[in-house]
């Protein structure tokens, strides 16, 4: 699809707009400057969760509202705020939708708006980022392959002063309820309640995995999953480890610090 042409064809000509192409994946600075200096009331992220994260980070703590045209594999934040997966309908939402404020999270100085985490999902994020193929089925293939080799790790967790030690398959810090594709890892998470949901998935037999996934899709509890709410979460793990913020992977050394900031981002839904 020629996205700029599609926008020109379907977006109201009565609304002044400017289309800026993000041509260099490793350089967002010029777009960030254009957003901050352009006097815009809305900035629309056209793409997947990584693009949305970059644009949202540029708008965080400003009066400019985030709109989303979802073209990604998961579209976690778009789904969470009620953006249509039909692109033409999503355009109409940007034209006439309402603005609301949502919270934002921070993991080791990286902002996130949907979910962040460490463990299996962060490793999947690293594998997916380096894959030459994109899309939902590529993501599923990587998950299936990694399930047979991933080794859970020991974590020391402090959530709002409460300490626990836990061997875990993954830890998710959820501002929104889902990763994307309506896969609800934290069904009780709210985007504007000033809290994060800490999801701990304990180690399990590979043969149990399909039943856990089925329960997650149905938003039902599992004895392998525990969820607790907090505002400040600190995690220690031995050695370098992978983390992700809205699916974007990075590596850190041992210490992970996660926090929440209340109602810092304007979004259109």
Q: pTM for the full model?
A: 0.92
DSSP string, the chain: --HHHHHHHHS-TTS---------TT--HHHHHHHHHTT-SEEEEEESHHHHHHHHHHHTTSSPEEEEEE-SSS-HHHHHTT--SSHHHHHHHHHHPPEEEEEEEEETTEEESSEEEEEHHHHHHHHHHT-S--SHHHHHHHHHHHHTT---EEEEEEETTEEEEEEESEEEEESSSBSSTT-BS-TT--TTSS-EEEEEE----GGGHHHHHHHHHTT---TTEEEEEESEEEEEEEEEEEEEETTEEEEEEEEEEEEEEEEEEEEE-
Q: Is residue 204 part of a domain?
A: yes
- Comparing CA positions, the residue from 81, 136, 106 lying closest to residue 245 is 106
CA distance 239 to 80: 34
| 170 and 256 belong to one structural domain | yes
192-205: average pLDDT? 97
Of 85, 105, 125, which residue sits at a domain end?
105
117-130: average pLDDT? 85
105-119: average pLDDT? 97
Per-chain mean pLDDT for the chain: 92
pLDDT digits (tens, 9 = 90+) for 220-244: 999 999 999 999 999 999 999 999 9
pLDDT score of 33 more than 80: yes
Torsion sign across C-alpha atoms 154, 156, 157, 163 = positive
pLDDT tier for residue 73 given thresholds of 50, 70 and 90: confident
Q: What is the length of the chain?
A: 269
| 161 and 250 belong to one structural domain | yes
pLDDT score of 52 more than 80: yes
101-108: average pLDDT? 98
Q: Is residue 253 part of a domain?
A: yes
| 126 and 199 belong to one structural domain | yes
Tell me, what's the pLDDT at 179?
A: 92
pLDDT digits (tens, 9 = 90+) for 156-169: 999 999 999 999 99
Of 105, 129, 147, which residue sits at a domain end?
105
Q: Is residue 21 part of a domain?
A: yes
pLDDT score of 75 more than 80: yes
pLDDT score of 253 more than 90: no
| 24 and 119 belong to one structural domain | no
Residue 122 · residue 244 · CB < 8 Å: yes
- Residue 208's domain comprises 110-260
Q: Is residue 192 part of a domain?
A: yes
Q: Is residue 268 part of a domain?
A: no
pLDDT digits (tens, 9 = 90+) for 140-189: 788 888 888 899 999 999 999 999 999 999 999 999 999 998 999 999 99
How many domains is the chain partitioned into structurally?
2
Of 81, 105, 129, which residue sits at a domain end?
105
Torsion sign across C-alpha atoms 120, 126, 131, 133 = positive
């Amino acid at each position: 699809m020629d996205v700029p042409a599609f926008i020109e064809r379907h977006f109201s000509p009565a609304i002044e707009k400017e289309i800026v192409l993000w041509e260099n994946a490793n350089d967002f600075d010029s777009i960030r400057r254009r957003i901050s200096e352009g006097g815009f009331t809305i900035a629309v992220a056209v793409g997947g969760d990584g693009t949305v994260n970059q644009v949202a980070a540029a708008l965080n703590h400003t009066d400019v509202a985030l709109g989303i045209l979802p073209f990604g594999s998961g579209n976690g934040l778009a789904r969470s705020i009620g953006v249509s997966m039909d692109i033409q309908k999503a355009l109409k939402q940007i034209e006439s939708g309402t603005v609301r404020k949502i919270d934002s999270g921070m993991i080791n100085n990286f902002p996130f708006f949907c979910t962040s985490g460490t463990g299996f999902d962060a490793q999947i994020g690293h594998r997916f980022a380096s894959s030459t193929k994109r899309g939902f089925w590529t993501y599923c293939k990587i998950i299936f392959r990694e399930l047979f080799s991933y080794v859970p790790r020991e974590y020391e967790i402090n959530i709002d002063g409460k300490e626990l030690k836990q061997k875990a398959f993954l830890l998710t810090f959820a501002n929104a309820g889902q990763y994307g594709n309506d896969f609800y890892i934290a069904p009780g998470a709210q985007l504007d309640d000033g809290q994060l949901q800490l999801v701990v998935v304990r180690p399990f037999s590979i043969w149990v995995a399909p039943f856990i996934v089925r329960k997650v899709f149905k938003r039902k509890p599992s004895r392998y999953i525990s969820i607790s709410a907090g505002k400040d979460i600190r995690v220690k793990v031995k050695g370098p480890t992978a983390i992700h913020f809205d699916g974007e992977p990075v590596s850190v050394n041992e210490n992970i610090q996660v926090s929440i900031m209340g109602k810092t981002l304007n979004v259109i839904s």
